[in-house]
Amino acid sequence: MTATIAKPETVGSARERLLAAALNRFEADGLVRMTLEDIRLEAGVSVGAMYHHFSDKAALVDALYVELVGRFQTEFLDELRRHSSAHGGIRAGVRLYLRWVARHRAEAAVLLGYRCDSVALRDLNPPFFAETMAWWRTHVHYGSLRDLPFDLIQALWIGPAQEYTRHWLAGRARRTPRAVADVLADAAWNALKEPV
Protein backbone atom coordinates (compact mmCIF):
# COMPACT_ATOMS: atom_id res chain seq x y z
CA MET A 1 0.00 0.00 0.00
CA THR A 2 1.39 3.39 -0.92
CA ALA A 3 1.42 6.09 1.72
CA THR A 4 0.94 8.97 -0.67
CA ILE A 5 -2.43 10.50 -1.41
CA ALA A 6 -2.79 10.90 -5.16
CA LYS A 7 -3.30 14.20 -6.92
CA PRO A 8 -7.00 15.16 -7.12
CA GLU A 9 -7.16 14.76 -10.89
CA THR A 10 -5.77 11.19 -10.79
CA VAL A 11 -8.25 9.60 -8.39
CA GLY A 12 -11.75 8.40 -9.05
CA SER A 13 -14.18 9.00 -6.22
CA ALA A 14 -15.27 12.41 -5.01
CA ARG A 15 -14.16 11.48 -1.49
CA GLU A 16 -10.65 10.56 -2.68
CA ARG A 17 -10.40 13.77 -4.71
CA LEU A 18 -11.50 15.83 -1.71
CA LEU A 19 -8.90 14.17 0.53
CA ALA A 20 -6.16 14.75 -2.05
CA ALA A 21 -7.19 18.38 -2.48
CA ALA A 22 -7.33 18.88 1.30
CA LEU A 23 -3.77 17.59 1.60
CA ASN A 24 -2.63 19.99 -1.13
CA ARG A 25 -4.43 22.94 0.45
CA PHE A 26 -3.12 22.05 3.93
CA GLU A 27 0.41 22.10 2.54
CA ALA A 28 -0.03 25.29 0.51
CA ASP A 29 -2.24 27.38 2.80
CA GLY A 30 -2.15 25.80 6.25
CA LEU A 31 -5.12 24.66 8.26
CA VAL A 32 -6.48 28.08 9.15
CA ARG A 33 -6.34 29.65 5.67
CA MET A 34 -7.53 26.68 3.64
CA THR A 35 -11.23 26.80 2.84
CA LEU A 36 -13.79 24.20 1.89
CA GLU A 37 -14.49 26.12 -1.30
CA ASP A 38 -10.82 26.02 -2.35
CA ILE A 39 -10.72 22.30 -1.60
CA ARG A 40 -13.94 21.68 -3.49
CA LEU A 41 -12.74 23.60 -6.54
CA GLU A 42 -9.38 21.82 -6.61
CA ALA A 43 -11.12 18.46 -6.25
CA GLY A 44 -13.52 19.32 -9.06
CA VAL A 45 -16.61 18.18 -7.19
CA SER A 46 -20.01 19.76 -6.73
CA VAL A 47 -21.12 21.39 -3.50
CA GLY A 48 -23.58 18.54 -3.01
CA ALA A 49 -20.88 15.91 -3.46
CA MET A 50 -18.64 17.68 -0.97
CA TYR A 51 -21.34 17.89 1.70
CA HIS A 52 -22.40 14.32 0.99
CA HIS A 53 -18.98 13.21 2.29
CA PHE A 54 -18.01 15.93 4.77
CA SER A 55 -20.24 18.20 6.83
CA ASP A 56 -17.54 20.82 7.39
CA LYS A 57 -13.80 21.49 7.19
CA ALA A 58 -13.13 19.78 10.52
CA ALA A 59 -14.79 16.58 9.32
CA LEU A 60 -12.72 16.65 6.12
CA VAL A 61 -9.44 17.25 7.93
CA ASP A 62 -10.30 14.57 10.51
CA ALA A 63 -10.90 12.11 7.66
CA LEU A 64 -7.60 13.09 6.04
CA TYR A 65 -5.80 12.62 9.36
CA VAL A 66 -7.32 9.18 9.92
CA GLU A 67 -6.45 8.13 6.36
CA LEU A 68 -2.83 9.16 6.85
CA VAL A 69 -2.52 7.55 10.27
CA GLY A 70 -3.90 4.32 8.84
CA ARG A 71 -1.40 4.33 6.01
CA PHE A 72 1.49 5.02 8.37
CA GLN A 73 0.33 2.31 10.79
CA THR A 74 0.17 -0.22 7.96
CA GLU A 75 3.76 0.55 6.92
CA PHE A 76 4.97 0.51 10.53
CA LEU A 77 3.42 -2.88 11.25
CA ASP A 78 4.72 -4.30 7.96
CA GLU A 79 8.21 -3.18 8.98
CA LEU A 80 7.86 -4.51 12.53
CA ARG A 81 6.76 -7.94 11.26
CA ARG A 82 10.04 -8.23 9.34
CA HIS A 83 12.07 -8.16 12.56
CA SER A 84 12.12 -11.04 14.98
CA SER A 85 14.73 -9.45 17.24
CA ALA A 86 13.91 -6.62 19.63
CA HIS A 87 17.04 -4.73 18.58
CA GLY A 88 16.17 -4.97 14.90
CA GLY A 89 12.52 -4.02 15.42
CA ILE A 90 13.20 -1.00 17.61
CA ARG A 91 15.80 0.39 15.23
CA ALA A 92 13.66 -0.38 12.19
CA GLY A 93 10.66 1.42 13.70
CA VAL A 94 12.67 4.61 14.14
CA ARG A 95 14.17 4.34 10.66
CA LEU A 96 10.75 3.70 9.10
CA TYR A 97 9.31 6.77 10.82
CA LEU A 98 12.16 8.98 9.59
CA ARG A 99 11.94 7.61 6.03
CA TRP A 100 8.19 8.06 5.98
CA VAL A 101 8.41 11.71 7.03
CA ALA A 102 11.18 12.42 4.52
CA ARG A 103 9.16 10.82 1.67
CA HIS A 104 5.81 12.32 2.72
CA ARG A 105 6.46 15.84 3.96
CA ALA A 106 2.92 17.11 3.33
CA GLU A 107 1.35 14.09 5.01
CA ALA A 108 3.73 14.39 7.97
CA ALA A 109 2.86 18.08 8.31
CA VAL A 110 -0.80 17.11 8.71
CA LEU A 111 -0.04 14.42 11.28
CA LEU A 112 2.32 16.65 13.27
CA GLY A 113 0.31 19.84 12.92
CA TYR A 114 -3.25 18.73 13.62
CA ARG A 115 -4.88 16.94 16.51
CA CYS A 116 -7.73 14.58 15.80
CA ASP A 117 -9.98 12.82 18.29
CA SER A 118 -12.60 11.31 16.03
CA VAL A 119 -14.56 8.10 16.40
CA ALA A 120 -12.84 6.83 13.26
CA LEU A 121 -9.41 7.34 14.83
CA ARG A 122 -10.51 5.67 18.05
CA ASP A 123 -11.69 2.70 15.95
CA LEU A 124 -8.48 2.61 13.91
CA ASN A 125 -5.96 2.63 16.76
CA PRO A 126 -6.78 -0.48 18.87
CA PRO A 127 -5.68 -3.11 16.30
CA PHE A 128 -2.43 -1.20 15.73
CA PHE A 129 -1.75 -0.89 19.45
CA ALA A 130 -2.68 -4.54 20.04
CA GLU A 131 -0.29 -5.89 17.41
CA THR A 132 2.52 -3.57 18.45
CA MET A 133 2.09 -4.56 22.09
CA ALA A 134 1.92 -8.27 21.23
CA TRP A 135 5.30 -7.90 19.48
CA TRP A 136 6.56 -5.91 22.47
CA ARG A 137 5.37 -8.37 25.12
CA THR A 138 7.11 -11.24 23.33
CA HIS A 139 10.40 -9.41 23.75
CA VAL A 140 9.61 -8.46 27.35
CA HIS A 141 8.97 -12.15 28.04
CA TYR A 142 12.41 -13.07 26.70
CA GLY A 143 14.12 -10.28 28.65
CA SER A 144 15.07 -8.05 25.72
CA LEU A 145 12.74 -5.09 26.32
CA ARG A 146 11.54 -3.24 29.39
CA ASP A 147 7.99 -3.83 30.61
CA LEU A 148 6.47 -0.37 30.07
CA PRO A 149 3.01 1.03 29.29
CA PHE A 150 2.28 1.86 25.65
CA ASP A 151 2.29 5.65 26.07
CA LEU A 152 5.80 5.54 27.54
CA ILE A 153 6.96 3.07 24.90
CA GLN A 154 5.69 5.37 22.16
CA ALA A 155 7.34 8.44 23.71
CA LEU A 156 10.72 6.74 24.06
CA TRP A 157 10.59 4.83 20.77
CA ILE A 158 9.29 7.36 18.27
CA GLY A 159 9.08 10.56 20.34
CA PRO A 160 12.65 11.80 19.76
CA ALA A 161 12.42 11.11 16.01
CA GLN A 162 9.04 12.85 15.92
CA GLU A 163 10.45 15.92 17.65
CA TYR A 164 13.44 16.00 15.31
CA THR A 165 11.20 15.81 12.24
CA ARG A 166 9.08 18.70 13.58
CA HIS A 167 12.21 20.83 13.55
CA TRP A 168 13.24 19.50 10.14
CA LEU A 169 9.85 20.20 8.56
CA ALA A 170 9.92 23.73 10.00
CA GLY A 171 13.38 24.33 8.50
CA ARG A 172 15.11 24.53 11.88
CA ALA A 173 17.17 21.33 11.48
CA ARG A 174 19.83 21.18 8.77
CA ARG A 175 20.49 17.46 8.79
CA THR A 176 18.00 15.24 7.00
CA PRO A 177 16.09 12.56 8.90
CA ARG A 178 18.22 9.94 7.15
CA ALA A 179 21.39 11.60 8.43
CA VAL A 180 20.27 11.28 12.06
CA ALA A 181 18.64 7.86 11.79
CA ASP A 182 21.47 5.90 13.44
CA VAL A 183 21.71 8.29 16.39
CA LEU A 184 17.96 8.26 17.02
CA ALA A 185 17.64 4.49 16.47
CA ASP A 186 20.48 3.86 18.96
CA ALA A 187 18.89 6.25 21.47
CA ALA A 188 15.55 4.44 21.22
CA TRP A 189 17.21 1.06 21.68
CA ASN A 190 19.22 2.26 24.69
CA ALA A 191 16.08 3.73 26.30
CA LEU A 192 13.91 0.66 25.73
CA LYS A 193 16.14 -2.38 26.13
CA GLU A 194 16.06 -4.30 29.36
CA PRO A 195 19.14 -3.29 31.38
CA VAL A 196 21.61 -6.11 31.80
- Report pLDDT digits (tens) over 44-74: 999 999 999 999 999 999 999 999 999 999 9
Enclosing H/E stretch for 107: helix 105-113
pTM of the shown model: 0.88
Mean pLDDT of 26-37: 92
Same domain? 101 vs 157: yes
Residue-wise pLDDT tens digits, 136-160? 999 999 999 999 999 999 999 999 9
Q: Would you mind telling me the total number of residues written for the chain in this entry?
A: 196
- 118 lies in which domain range? 61-192
Task: Please report the beta strands in 87-190, taking only residues with DSSP state E, as ranges in sequence order.
Answer: none
Percent of the chain at pLDDT exceeding 70: 94
Give me the number of domains the chain comprises.
2
What does pLDDT average to over the chain? 93
Task: Say which CATH number the domain at 127 has.
Answer: 1.10.357.10
Same domain? 19 vs 107: no
Same domain? 68 vs 122: yes
Helices (H), 82-176: 86-103, 105-113, 119-141, 150-157, 159-169
pLDDT at residue 9 is higher than 80: no
